[in-house]
Amino acid sequence: MSARGHAFGIDIGGSGVKGAAVDLSTGELVHERIKIPTPQPATPQAIAGTVADLVTEAGWDGPVGLTLPAVVIDGTARTAANIDKAWIGTDARALFSDALGGRPVTVLNDADAAGLAEDRYGAAKDFAGPVILLTFGTGIGSALLYHGMLVPNTELGHIEIGGMSCEHRAAASVKERDDLSYAQWATEVGIALTALEDLFFPTVFVAGGGISREADQWIPLLTNRTPVIPAHLRNTAGIVGAAMAVEGGITP
Ligand code: BGC
C-alpha cells in the first residue's frame, strides 16, 4: 500500500519504534500508529530488524522517512549522546534501505523531524520569524526553523551554560533523577532558554517531549522573555516530520 499525498514516517526512540502513514495535506496519521518496543541493546542491526517488522505490519511498500536521536549527515549518524555508541559512523540510510528491500529512505534527527511537523501543522504554524523547538526527554533535542526552512542538526541541548551542558541541567530526565519539583526544574529550564534566546532571538519556543503534556505545571513558572508554547502534535510529531522529510527530499 502507498497512496498519493501519503508518506510513511518512523520515529526511533529509546523505548519504542513508532510508525504510521501520514496524510501530508493535513499532517494526520492515516491509521493508528504502530509501536514496537525498542530492542535492547538498541544496536543498528537490531533496530533495522524492528523497522522492517513495523513496515511489514503496516503493509507499506513506498519510501520511508526515519528519525534517529543523533546528528545525521548525508544519511550517516555522527553522534550518539543517549543511544548505543555503535550508531556513530553508521550509514543509517543504507542500513534501513537494505532492511526494506532496497527502497528509498530518508533519515533525519528526531527533534528536527518534530520541528518540521510543529512548524507546518502544529504549535508554531501561525508564527512568523525564527522558531526553536526543544524536546525535553532523556536529553534535549532542538530544531531551528525559519519560514518552514530547517537548519538541520543544531544540537542546542549540548550548548554549555554555566559550565554544564544544557541537557545535563534541564532535560526532563534531570527532574526525575534529582527528584526536582516543577518550580526547581523550571528554574533550570529558564536559565537554558534565556541563554538560547540571547543567541538566536526566536519568535517562539515550542516545548516538546512527554513533559510538555504537563505544560500548565511548569510553563507559567518560566521567567525568560520569549513565549513558550507546548507542542500540539504530542507523540506523533516525530512520525509526521519523518514523513515530511520523504516528501521534501530532506537529506541532512
Ligand atoms: C541528542 C540529539 C537528540 C536529542 C533528543 C540529544 O542527546 O544529541 O541528537 O535530538 O538528544 O533525542
11-51 pLDDT tens trace: 999 999 999 999 999 999 999 999 999 999 999 999 999 99
Placement of cell 494526520 in the chain:
28
Confidence at residue 3, expressed as pLDDT on a 0 to 100 scale = 74
CA of 167 to the centre of ligand 1 (A): 9
Surface-to-core class of residue 109, CB atoms within 10 Å of its CB (0-12 exposed, 13-18 middle, 19+ buried):
buried
User: Is 224 in the same domain as 155?
Assistant: yes
User: Is 71 in the same domain as 30?
Assistant: yes
Total of domains in the chain = 2
User: Is 68 in the same domain as 95?
Assistant: yes
Q: What are 249's strand-pairing partners?
A: none
Residue whose CA is closest, atom 9 of ligand 1?
A: 70
User: Is 140 in the same domain as 189?
Assistant: yes
Nearest to 86 by CA among 45, 141, 39: 45
Asked if residue 166 belongs to a domain, the reply is yes
50 sits in which H/E element: helix 44-58
CA of 166 to the centre of ligand 1 (A): 11
User: Is 70 in the same domain as 165?
Assistant: no
78-93 pLDDT tens trace: 999 889 999 999 999 9
User: Is 199 in the same domain as 175?
Assistant: yes
CA 160 to chain centre: 21
CB 106 within 8 A of CB 93: yes
Which stretches within 92-236 are classed as H helix? 92-99, 110-120, 166-170, 172-177, 182-200, 215-218
Counting atoms of ligand 1 from 1, which one is nearest the CA of 153? 9
CA of 68 to the centre of ligand 1 (A): 8
194-203 pLDDT tens trace: 999 999 999 9
pLDDT band at 247 (very low <50, low <70, confident <90, very high): confident
Pocket of ligand 1, candidates 116, 138, 140: which has the most ligand atoms within 8 Å of its Cβ, to mutate?
140
Residues with CB under 6 A from ligand 1: 69-71, 79, 81-82, 109-111, 135, 137, 139, 141, 155, 157, 167
Nearest to 208 by CA among 143, 160, 127: 143
CA of 134 to the centre of ligand 1 (A): 10
Q: Provide the 3-class DSSP secondary structure of residue 38.
A: coil
The grid cell for 87 is 550508531
Per the prediction, the chain carries an average pLDDT of 95
Q: Provide the 3-class DSSP secondary structure of residue 185.
A: helix
CB 218 within 8 A of CB 189: yes
Q: Most distant CA pair in the chain: distance in Å? A: 51
CB 186 within 8 A of CB 224: no
Q: Which domain CATH number covers 156?
A: 3.30.420.40
Nearest to 208 by CA among 138, 135, 126, 131: 135
Pocket of ligand 1, candidates 110, 135, 173: which has the most ligand atoms within 8 Å of its Cβ, to mutate?
110
Counting atoms of ligand 1 from 1, which one is nearest the CA of 13? 12
pTM: 0.96
- Rounded CA gap, 196 and 1, in Å? 43
pLDDT band at 1 (very low <50, low <70, confident <90, very high): low
User: Is 207 in the same domain as 142?
Assistant: yes
Asked if residue 120 belongs to a domain, the reply is no
Query: For residue 184, what are the domain limits?
Result: 126-231
Q: How many CA atoms lie within 13 A of 85 on its CB side?
A: 0
- Rounded CA gap, 239 and 233, in Å? 10
CA 71 to chain centre: 11
